[in-house]
Amino acid sequence: MALRRREINKDVVQQAAEAVTASAQRLSVIVLGATRQVITEVGDLATELFEISDAAGRARRDADGDETAGASELLDDAADHPDDV
């Protein structure tokens, strides 16, 4: 009878340990998956911000270049057609 009681207790402890382990495994998958998604989103956001910054820099350089080109074109036109100015 004592052996039966010990066996039951062992089975209860074993089942409880397996349940805790299975739960911990599922929770780990959820937490690690969510962490991975957060890291991916932060990385994607950083990439987007770098691309926006680069595009803004190119746009500024292009705008500066266009203004300079526009002024020299006006000067060239004025030199070519002095009566129109």
- pLDDT exceeds 90 at position 2: no
In a domain, 84, yes or no: no
| CB contact at 8 A, 78 and 85 | yes
* pTM for this entry: 0.55
**What string of DSSP letters covers 16-70?**
HHHHHHHHHHHHHHHHHHHHHHHHHHHHHHHHHHHHHHHHHHHHHHHHHHHHHHH
In a domain, 44, yes or no: yes
In a domain, 29, yes or no: yes
In a domain, 83, yes or no: no
Number of domains, the chain: 1
Residue range 25-81, pLDDT digits in tens? 999 999 999 999 999 999 999 999 999 999 999 999 998 876 555 555 555 666 666
- pLDDT exceeds 60 at position 15: yes
- Residue 65's domain comprises 2-78
In a domain, 85, yes or no: no
In a domain, 31, yes or no: yes
In a domain, 58, yes or no: yes
